[in-house]
Structure 1
Amino acid sequence: MDKKMLKRTRIFISMVVFIFIVLSARLAYLQIFQHEQYWGRAEKNRLRILPITAPRGEIFDRYGRQLVSNRPGFTVSLVDLGQGYDDDTISYLSRLLEMEEEEINEKIRSQYYRRYLPIRLKTDVSMEIVSRIAERRMELPGV
């Protein structure tokens, strides 16, 4: 009986070691040989899609006078990409948005524990400001 139990224990330990080796080999394969593929997929996945609510339409009173109309509104926000915000980006945004650099830094610090949320710097900005930011999109990561 004792030899039978010893044999079962060895088989069980052998199976556990085999499974551990297979999983370790697969992990090494993914991290070493497939690194570029998954890194590229992660980079593409870092863009955040924020839903934009549909326009509600124009509202008129009973005499046909317009009470509310639609117009586009743009918000400049920062999204934490895990690399922080460099001083050049903050300096450029402070000049463009006519805000103090310290005010921008304070908004960033106030969102420290909610990094997954975009930080709203300024709302209802003009199309000109949006265009200037879009022109320098590659130089302004996370804006």
Structure 2
Amino acid sequence: MEDHIPQKSWFARNWGWAVPVGGCLTIIILFFIFLGSLIFGVSELISESVPYQDAIKKVNEDEYVINILGEPIETDGMMNGSLSYENNQGSADISIPIKGPKGGAELYLVGTKENDQWTYTEMYVIIEETDEQIDLLGYQQDEYNENP
């Protein structure tokens, strides 16, 4: 008769390195899931804000920007900046990458909120290809586009 020597399972033979590696991989994966959720949450919070919505609406109503970028104009990537609310007061200083069929640009917005009313001191678009700055608040466009 043959003697059959029972062999240990894979886990019993390799637990010394499998447990630490598996634990580290689990922690790394959970960290990236948390980081992704955080970035998505902040981005979603900004994109649902009144200043963001006002800026996107304003850029989609500006005929000059539409002629340069084409229609439809939509966001293109991660926005940057800060947005804060506190006791019916707030401030916004954000930049939003936008694009159209004819090109891309960056939309900038600076504003404050007092008594549930947003007031914008700056709202302009800078076209990527030409670095042209287009004011969306209705000021004289030539102020920003003069060549010395």
Taking structure 2 as the reference length, what is the TM-score of the superposition? Answer: 0.33
Q: Could you say which structure has the higher strand fraction?
A: 2
- TM score, norm. by length of structure 1: 0.34
Greater relative contact order, per chain length (Cα 8 Å cut-off, separation 6+): 1
